[in-house]
Each structure stands twice: as structure tokens, then as C-alpha cells.
């Protein structure tokens, strides 16, 4: 028993000293995280081997002895033996080591691979922002095409025509069917960008709905229907929208593209999920620029 006590004390001291040695400046390698891992693995293997061998041998040779408690459970009794001193010291020592490691031993101010990655990422983002702070129209278009092909093409198609109606045809702002759907059902997709939303049936007459839908879908070409005056109150006389009131229903301006990317959209075709925080502001603006460059086909 004395040898177990001595072994437990030596093990605790070895773990504390080894951890400090690995985490301290004396360690010759900067990659102490992996060293700590290997040290922990070695300690676990050593402890497990020691415990298994000791108690396998004890089970073979020792016999139970001591005073039995009065309680019985299905004929099974329990001895009133004290906790082995070595177990108690090892348990208390492990708790002491835990608090020491959490408060003193853990290298909170040393090198960290995660910290290094964060520093490199932040540095790269700063360089990116500085490089693209005032990009030209051609630069935005090229960037937008690259982002589109990676993020948008899987649903909208490489040609942006919506893969046979499975997603929005981005070569046109809106189809006649989509405009009519919004007029009849209303829309409240963009609670942050356009919080008021649009109530359903702002136009009651079927002919007015058909005429306005055709006019908007045709890119505001031709004679403007008289009923469009109702729409102009929020979307403007030219359909180019009003900030925080109604979106641009003529072209894909920066505001509507950013709103769709950040908040998603539900409409006639289905629901588009939010892409919030997947693109930065420059990339969102670039996607809008690229979509505008596609034009009507």
C-alpha cells in the first residue's frame, strides 16, 4: 500500500512538472499543443497499465476481509472498509492538478494554432477590404460572375435562366406570373430591408392585375397602365423602388439583391434560403452588378 501511495504522489508531481515543462519557454518546439497531447496519452497509458496490472494481481491473490455493514441487498453485503489511501490521494491530487492547470499551467498567453489562424484570417480580410474598397464596374462584374458560379449556379443554372423554372430566371427581373402572384398574395419577405411589406390585392380588378403584371414583366416598356399608380406609391413612378418602403421591381439593384441574400425569399416558385454572412458586402454588390449585366434574353 505504501508503494501505491508513493507511486501516486510521484505520478501527480510528474504530470504537473511535465505539463509546465511542455507549456513553458523551456520547451524547444513551438508546437506544444501536440506535445501536450502526447504527454496526456502517455500518462493515460501509464496509469491504465499500472492500475490494471495491480488490481488483476490483487484479484488473484487477495481475499475480502473487514467488518460487514448491516444492510443487505439480495444477500449481497458491503464491507465498511475505508477508501484506499492511494486512491484518495490520487483523486485529490487530480483535482488540485486540474485547478492548477486551469488557472496557472494552461498556456493562455502562448502560441495557439487557432489564434494564429484567426490572426492570418483577419489580416487577409483587411487586405481584401483595402484592395476592393473602390472596385471598378468591370472588376465587380468579373467578381460577381465568379461568386455566382460558385454560390448561385447550382440552383439558378450556369446561364442564370433558372433550370427550366426550378428557380428564378435571373436574366429577367420578374415574370408576368410572378408579378400577378405578388399582387394577389402580397409579400413580406424582407422585414429588415423593407419592413412594411406588401399587402395582398392592392389591385382588385382582374384586367388591371393582368395589365400591370404584363407592364412590369416587360421591363416597364410601352404605355403605363393607369392602375400602376397604386404600385407607384411604394415602388416609384419608374419602378425603381424607395428605400425601406418598396424594392426595385425594374432591375436588380444592390438593395434588392442584398436583401434577398441576407433574408432569403419565398414566392411563386418556392423558397430561397438566406445566404447571410456567406458573402461580404463587396461580393454582394458584385453579384448585383453581374446580374444587371445579364440583361433580358
177 has a pLDDT exceeding 60:
yes
What DSSP designation does 204 have? Answer: -
Same domain, 37 and 153: no
pLDDT of residue 26: 45
Residue 74 resides in a domain: no
Same domain, 270 and 180: yes
pLDDT of residue 257: 93
Mean pLDDT of the region 169-189: 90
Name the binding residues.
Answer: 152, 155-156, 198, 231, 234-235, 272
Question: Of 170 and 47, which is predicted with more confidence?
Answer: 170
Q: Of 164, 195, 167, 172, nearest to 267 (Cα)? A: 167
Residue 285 resides in a domain: yes
Banded pLDDT at 114 (limits 50, 70, 90):
confident
End-to-end CA distance of the chain: 88
Mean pLDDT of the region 13-28: 57
Same domain, 38 and 146: no
Residue 264 resides in a domain: yes
Instruction: Give the torsion sign (CA, 40, 41, 42, 43).
Output: positive
Three-state SS for 4?
helix
What are phi and psi for residue 278, nearest 5 degrees? -85, -25
Considering 14, 39, 61, which residue would you say is the last residue of a domain? Answer: 61
Three-state SS for 76?
strand
Name the binding residues for heme c.
Answer: 152, 155-156, 198, 231, 234-235, 272
Per residue in 205-223, pLDDT (tens digit) is 999 999 999 999 898 998 9
**Size of the chain, expressed as the number of residues it contains:** 297
Instruction: Give the torsion sign (CA, 208, 210, 216, 218).
Output: negative
Considering 61, 78, 103, which residue would you say is the last residue of a domain? Answer: 61
Residue 66 resides in a domain: no
For residue 7, give its domain range.
1-61
Residue matched to cell numbers 464491507: 79
Whether residue 255 contacts residue 241, with contact meaning beta carbons closer than 8 Å, is answered with: yes
Residue 288 resides in a domain: yes
Task: Work out how many domains the chain is built from and give that number.
Answer: 2
Same domain, 53 and 147: no
Long-range contacts of 116-125 (CB under 8 A, 24+ apart): none
- The answer to pTM > 0.75 is no
| Nearby residues of 226 by Cβ (< 8 Å), 6 or more positions away | none
Q: Give the β-pairing of 271-272 and 265-266.
A: antiparallel
Banded pLDDT at 12 (limits 50, 70, 90):
low
Amino acid at each position: 500500500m505504501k508503494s501505491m501511495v508513493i507511486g501516486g504522489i510521484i505520478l501527480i508531481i510528474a504530470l504537473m512538472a511535465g505539463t509546465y515543462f511542455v507549456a513553458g519557454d523551456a520547451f524547444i518546439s513551438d508546437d506544444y499543443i501536440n506535445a501536450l497531447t502526447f504527454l496526456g496519452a502517455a500518462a493515460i497509458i501509464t496509469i491504465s497499465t499500472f492500475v490494471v496490472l495491480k488490481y488483476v494481481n490483487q484479484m488473484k491473490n487477495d481475499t475480502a476481509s473487514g467488518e460487514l455493514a448491516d444492510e443487505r441487498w439480495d444477500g449481497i453485503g458491503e464491507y465498511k472498509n475505508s477508501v484506499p489511501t492511494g486512491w484518495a490521494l490520487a483523486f485529490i491530487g487530480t483535482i488540485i492538478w486540474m485547478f492548477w492547470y486551469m488557472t496557472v499551467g494552461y498556456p493562455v498567453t502562448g502560441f495557439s494554432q487557432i489564434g494564429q489562424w484567426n490572426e492570418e484570417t483577419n489580416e487577409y480580410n483587411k487586405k481584401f477590404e483595402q484592395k476592393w474598397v473602390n472596385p471598378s464596374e468591370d472588376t465587380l462584374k468579373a467578381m460577381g460572375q465568379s461568386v455566382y458560379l460558385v454560390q448561385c449556379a447550382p440552383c439558378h443554372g450556369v446561364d442564370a435562366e433558372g433550370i427550366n423554372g426550378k428557380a428564378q430566371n435571373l436574366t429577367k427581373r420578374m415574370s408576368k406570373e410572378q408579378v400577378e402572384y405578388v399582387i394577389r398574395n402580397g409579400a413580406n419577405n424582407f422585414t429588415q430591408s423593407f419592413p412594411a411589406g406588401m399587402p395582398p390585392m392592392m389591385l382588385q380588378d382582374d384586367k388591371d392585375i393582368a395589365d400591370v403584371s404584363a407592364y412590369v414583366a416587360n421591363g416597364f416598356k410601352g404605355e403605363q397602365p393607369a392602375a400602376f399608380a397604386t404600385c407607384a406609391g411604394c415602388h416609384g413612378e419608374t419602378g425603381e423602388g424607395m428605400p425601406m418602403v418598396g424594392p426595385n421591381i425594374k432591375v436588380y439593384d444592390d438593395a434588392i439583391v442584398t436583401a434577398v441574400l441576407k433574408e432569403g425569399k419565398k414566392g411563386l416558385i418556392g423558397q430561397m434560403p438566406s445566404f447571410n454572412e456567406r458573402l461580404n458586402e463587396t461580393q454582394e454588390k458584385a453579384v448585383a452588378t453581374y446580374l444587371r449585366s445579364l440583361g433580358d434574353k
